[in-house]
């Protein structure tokens, strides 16, 4: 294997799994194997057929492990594309109901001109079922498309999806689930969960970046207007030669993620207990959450400063929300939860599949020292030597 470009930062403790999980060695091996195949999966000759066989093997894994049908698993470039493909396919002719705390892939992916309505969340970040039912029950010329994430990327909070699915079934709405943060971390099932469609992403499972899937309910291959027509791959639903190495890596990572779920909860709970004792607020605490995610706000200490300090100390964590420029934006998730005052002071700690207990313990000790250095609720300069 070539040396990892991460080697220079090997001393850093990586606690930013919700941004991307470390690549699993088994996924890297599957990618290498697939990269050795020359054929294009659409070619009919022997080499093409070999590539096709590997592609269909990966499809079978993804479909089977997520309770979908083989014919209704569409490979994409990742979670963003899977969500946008679903919105593009199911929004026309429907009113689109989107949770306030959804990821930008969905919030920004609603096609222009669509009849968009926002679904409010409660103080924990869970969708308000009473308001959802009120909205669905309101007489409307258009049927509804409901878009909600299974698990929130910033707080780890889970929506009450079983109840949401029941309401969608009762009112004839299509339920699209953004399962990007959920797959591999909790049970996710397309049919059994009552979803009309589900989006997932390879790199949030320990697979490579650049592969994802949109799973569609329905026994027969479901028509879906493609974002790219191209050569009609993926049964005309997603044109473009499939990224076979990335797809094979995603399928292998999915198998491993589902077969070897790490025990994050005790590590997360110990971290949160210590953080709270040091004055932190855990955003979304009290609601069901992913076991790997803590959104910790330190009143009086800006997130940007915390991140810089922790980075200097060798810890990779995120602010709740970061733009692609790397700047920290105010979190729409925390704002929707009524936590505007904390929105600029929260960081996200998300434990990867590979985390070690001593990594979390070292982080906890550093975080507690960081918190202890705050001055009476006022903002603290990073250069001020807090630890």
> Which member of 72, 155, 201, 306 binds ligand PLP (CB under 6 A)?
201
Query: In degrees rounded to 5, what are phi and psi of residue 119?
Result: -105, 120
Examine residue 212 and tell whether it contacts ligand PLP (CB under 6 A). Answer: yes
Residue 292 within binding range of ligand PLP, rule CB under 6 A: no
How far apart, in whole angstroms, are the C-alpha atoms of residue 256 and residue 180?
A: 16
Nearer to ligand PLP, 305 or 352 (CB): 352
Instruction: Among 72, 126, 155, 181, indicate the residue that binds ligand PLP (CB under 6 A).
Output: 181
- Our CB check for ligand PLP shows the closer of 233 and 293 to be 293
Contact call for residue 105 and ligand PLP (CB under 6 A): yes
For residue 310, report the phi and psi dihedrals to the nearest 5 degrees.
-70, -35
Contact criterion met (CB below 8 Å) for 271 and 360: yes
Rounded least distance, CB 196 to ligand PLP, Å: 17
Burial of 7 (C-beta count, 10 Å sphere; 0-12/13-18/19+): exposed
3-state secondary structure 138-201: CCCCCCEEEEEECECCCCCEECCHHHHHHHHHHCCCEEEEECCCCECCECCCCCCCCCCEEEEE
Would you say 249 and 30 are in contact if contact means Cβ atoms under 8 Å apart?
yes
Q: Of 294 and 364, which has the nearer Cβ to ligand PLP? A: 294
Among 39, 41, 78, 344, interactor with ligand PLP by CB under 6 A: 78
Number of residues that bind ligand PLP (CB under 6 A): 14
Q: Does 213 bind ligand PLP (CB under 6 A)?
A: no
Inter-CA distances, 93 with 84, 114, 141, 142, 173, Å: 16, 8, 9, 6, 12
Q: Are 101 and 122 in contact (CB under 8 A)?
A: no
Nearer to ligand PLP, 180 or 282 (CB): 180
Nearest distance, CB of residue 149 and ligand PLP, angstroms? 5
Q: CB within 8 A of 375, min separation 6: which ones?
A: 300
The binder of ligand PLP chosen from 34, 119, 149, 339 (CB under 6 A)? 149
Q: Which of 180, 339, 342, 370 binds ligand PLP (CB under 6 A)?
A: 180
Identified catalytic residue from 168, 276, 283, 323: 323
Instruction: Give the catalytic positions in this structure.
Output: 323
Residues that bind ligand PLP (CB under 6 A): 78-80, 83, 103, 105, 149, 153, 178, 180-181, 201, 203, 212
């Amino acid at each position: 294997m070539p040396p990892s470009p991460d080697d220079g930062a090997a001393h850093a403790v990586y606690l930013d799994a919700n941004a991307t999980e470390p690549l699993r060695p088994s996924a890297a091996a599957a990618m290498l194997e697939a990269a050795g195949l020359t054929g294009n999966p659409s070619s009919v000759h022997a080499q093409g057929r070999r590539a096709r066989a590997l592609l269909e093997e990966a499809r079978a894994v993804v479909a089977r492990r997520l309770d979908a049908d083989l014919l209704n698993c569409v490979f994409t470039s990742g979670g963003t594309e899977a969500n946008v493909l679903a919105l593009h396919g199911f929004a026309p002719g429907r009113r689109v109901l989107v949770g306030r705390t959804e990821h930008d892939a969905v919030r920004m992916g609603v096609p222009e001109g669509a009849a968009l309505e926002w679904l409010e969340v409660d103080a924990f970040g869970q969708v308000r079922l009473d308001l959802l039912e009120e909205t669905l029950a309101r007489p409307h010329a258009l049927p509804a498309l409901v878009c909600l994430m299974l698990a929130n990327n910033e707080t780890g909070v889970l929506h009450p999806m079983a109840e949401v699915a029941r309401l969608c079934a009762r009112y004839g709405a299509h339920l699209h689930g953004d399962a990007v943060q959920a797959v591999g971390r909790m049970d996710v099932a397309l049919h059994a969960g009552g979803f009309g469609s589900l989006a997932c992403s390879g790199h949030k499972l320990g697979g490579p970046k650049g592969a994802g899937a949109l799973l569609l309910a329905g026994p027969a291959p479901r028509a879906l207007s493609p974002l790219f027509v191209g050569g009609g791959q993926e049964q005309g639903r997603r044109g473009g030669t499939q990224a076979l190495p990335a797809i094979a890596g995603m399928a292998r990572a999915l198998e491993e993620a589902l077969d070897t779920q790490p025990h994050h909860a005790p590590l997360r709970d110990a971290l949160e207990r210590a953080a709270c004792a040091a004055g932190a607020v855990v955003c979304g605490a009290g609601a069901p959450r992913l076991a790997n995610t803590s959104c910790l706000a330190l009143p009086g200490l800006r997130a940007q400063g915390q991140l810089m300090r922790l980075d200097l100390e060798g810890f990779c964590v995120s602010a709740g929300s970061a733009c692609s420029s790397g700047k920290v934006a105010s979190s729409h998730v925390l704002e929707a939860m009524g936590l505007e005052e904390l929105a600029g002071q929260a960081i996200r700690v998300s434990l990867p599949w590979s985390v070690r207990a001593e990594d979390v313990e070292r982080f906890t000790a550093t975080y507690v020292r960081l918190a202890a250095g705050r001055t009476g609720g006022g903002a603290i300069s990073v250069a001020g030597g807090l630890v």
